[in-house]
Amino acid sequence: MSDYTKTTVYLEFGDYRRLRALAREQGRPAAELVREAVAEYARRHRTHAVPASIGRGQSGRGDLGERAEDLLRGMGDG
């Protein structure tokens, strides 16, 4: 068994009955089906983390995006 945390989930009675029936049909514990469903939901709805460095620097220039190529010209030359 992996590293689990115990929690309580309240289900509507009809959903609980369907869960138990699925578990019985598949020969698996209902808790395993719930863990699987939560993991799948979390994967589908995860947000991609934005690096902490995004938005940290402030150039003070309002035209930076429009003039980036001009402003970077010559950088890295000898």
Residue with tokens 């719930």: 34
For residue 68, the model assigns a pLDDT of: 85
pTM for the predicted model, two decimal places: 0.57
Q: What is the pLDDT of residues 26-61, one digit of tens each?
A: 999 999 999 999 999 999 988 888 788 777 777 778
Cβ 30 vs Cβ 20: under 8 Å: yes
For residue 72, the model assigns a pLDDT of: 86
For residue 47, the model assigns a pLDDT of: 84
The full set of domain ranges for the chain reads 13-45
